[in-house]
Chains A and B, each alone.
Chain A
Amino acid sequence: MAFAAFSSSNPKLSHGPVRSSKVVLALLLPGMLYLAMFFMVPLVSLIITSLETPAASGAYGMYDYGFDVSSYVDVTTRYLPQILRSFGYAFLATLFALIISYPLAYFVGVRLRPRPLIQKLTLTLVIAPFFISFLLRTIAWKQLLSDDSAILNFLRSIHLWGEHQYFLGTPAAVIWGLTYNFIPFMTLPLYTSLERLDLRLLEAASDLYANPAAIFRKVTLPLTMPGVISGTLLTFIPITGDYVNASRDFLGSSSTSMIGNMVEADFLQNADYPAASALSAVLMAVILILVSVYVKRTGTEDLL
């Protein structure tokens, strides 16, 4: 779906998939076993760890297996602000990413269709941020929008920004960073949908007296909805777990911390593995709910 952006669309084939055979097992088994081992099992591990209790020996960072759900109670109350903040930032960043990406994806996917080489090159430019280190591009914004940066000073000079007002460390800065960093994840699925849009349908709508706004509302948007939804999922979900943008060393401050920051702190600094695991499990649970709602409505065939 998303990453098929660079391939040509839907050729006619002689026939579809054939009945299962032993070959399928050989092809799928190694990869699926790998996933089972290194994706499923870790999730289970997380749950097990979240239910552990502090070691009877009292040793720091050591835990005994148990069935203690107190960690869940603990993280959902203690970290409620971070949880709400994460989903709030994710919602806003996803919304902004959608608003910024859709027209861009439309331009490349629809308007540039007559010039395929230009189309491919422009698409490459659109996802170019993807090719430069995630951390460095976040740091670039940190420098560009720091308290004493040229941009802020320019805005101050034309009275659009307060003298002692700063940008870094505010929720706005974090959301700015999140939006920017995840735009490629939103744009690619949108582009894939738009690139496959049959323009003759737009022509037909126009022939039937629809003005451009109506064409967009009644034809373009509904037909590209799959791209919008999968782009939204692929953007919203990773953002909820991000912690680099919100980190003090990047665009955030201690008042903008998200779920990820807490997991990092508890896991890597405080050795509070049950808390970190419980928080991760809570996040994962919400995501699984979102994904299952999506799958229920659209099925699994188009997932990949």
Chain B
Amino acid sequence: MKNLRLGRKVLPLYSVLALVYLLIPIVYTIVFSFNNSERSNTVWQGFTLDKWINVCNRPDICESLGNSMLIGVVSTFIATVLGTAIAIGLVRYRFRARSLVSLSLFLPMATPEVVMGAGLAALFFNMGAEQGFVTIILAHVMFCLSFVVVTVKARVQTLDPVLEEAARDLYANPTGVFWRITFPLLLPGIISAALLSFALSFDDFIITYFNSGPINTFPKVVYIAAAKGVPAEANVVASAVFLLAILIVIGSQIMGSVRAKRLLK
């Protein structure tokens, strides 16, 4: 009995410690976004909101943020559309090339970024294509696709096909079935996939670095600045994105829980 009680306390304690360990760099990054630093952000020099308010005092940070957002939105849109279609196809239909498709979707998730980055760069070079926004977006869609498929697929698997059959039985044509039944019920999964895709695109460094040419994305700017010293404005951007993402995720979880509780009353 004593053994069990000790065990019951150890695991939560360990988990708290592990969570603290996981959150340390995040807290550090956020704290140092308020650092009143000059060029390098390594020593604490006092609290200021200046960096938050005047984040564009570092135009390279600001511009790269804009680029990353644009790339993120476009890549996410394309990857989500393509990926949702694949996810529905994979779950709903039986076909012979199924193993091949699953494997082809798994491989990009398991391939190291250097390999993909170098490969894409080689491809673009051999095609004679100039590196820029388009090459970055093409690259991002590629590695986001598999993650979208996995996320949406999980949601499609919870969708009982009988609902779509009922819709057809009730005079909905194929377009009607999709937009009125399939899409609304898949929407939470599609939104999760889109958020995941955006996060992956925004934070991508290695593949982007190989294929961006003159365009600066936020991670690229940070990497280049790392040699000299990353300015606090970079911390501001990262912290803002982090807080926004966390708020969205936690917010949706709480809302989902509230809605579920209300429905069961």
Contacts and interface: CB of A to CB of B under 8 A. Distances in A.
Contact of A137 (B7, B25, B82, B119): B25
Contact of B114 (A19, A35, A264): A264
Contact of A6 (B24, B162, B192, B246): B192
Interface string B30-58: 00100000000010000000000000000
Contacts of A129: 22-23, 25-26
A39 interface: yes
Contacts of B222: 133, 135-136, 139
Interface in B70-103: 82-83, 85-86, 88-96, 98-99, 101-103
Contacts, number: 309
B66 interface: no
B133 interface: no
Given A7-B155, A21-B93, A124-B249, A135 B223 contact: yes
B173 interface: no
A19 B115 CA distance: 37
Contacts of A240: 112
Interface residues on A, range: 35 or more
B94 A18 contact: yes
A132 B26 contact: yes
A129 B103 CA distance: 28
Given A135-B226, A249-B226, A291-B110, A27 B253 contact: no
B132 to A, nearest CB: 16
Contacts of A133: 29, 203, 218-219, 222, 234, 238, 241
A100 interface: yes
A67 interface: no
Contact of A136 (B24, B99, B230): B230
Contacts of A243: 114, 206
Given A42-B120, A134-B205, A241 B113 contact: yes
Contacts of B153: 4, 304
B115 A234 contact: no
A106 interface: yes
Nearest to B146: A304
A111 interface: yes
Given A27-B88, A42-B123, A3 B154 contact: yes
Nearest to A16: B94
Given A46-B115, A116-B257, A180-B25, A34 B141 contact: yes
A304 B139 contact: no
Interface in A111-140: 111, 116-117, 120-122, 124-126, 128-140
B12 A131 contact: no
B169 interface: no
Contact of A27 (B89, B105, B161): B89
Contact of A38 (B120, B150, B196, B206): B120
Given A38-B138, A280-B118, A121 B253 contact: yes
Interface in B124-144: 126, 138-139, 141-142
B242 interface: yes
A107 B12 contact: yes
Interface string B222-251: 110011001000110011011001100110
Contacts of B15: 103-104, 107-108, 122
A208 interface: no
Interface of B: 3-4, 7, 11-12, 14-15, 18-19, 21-26, 28-29, 32, 42, 82-83, 85-86, 88-96, 98-99, 101-116, 118-123, 126, 138-139, 141-142, 145-147, 149-151, 153-155, 158, 160-162, 165, 189, 192, 196, 199, 203, 205-206, 209-210, 218-219, 222-223, 226-227, 230, 234-235, 238-239, 241-242, 245-246, 249-250, 253-254, 257
Given A31-B83, A104-B18, 20 more contacts: A1-B150, A2-B150, A7-B189, A13-B162, A28-B85, A28-B89, A35-B108, A38-B141, A49-B122, A103-B18, A107-B12, A107-B14, A131-B245, A135-B223, A212-B3, A233-B110, A242-B206, A267-B118, A284-B112, A300-B102
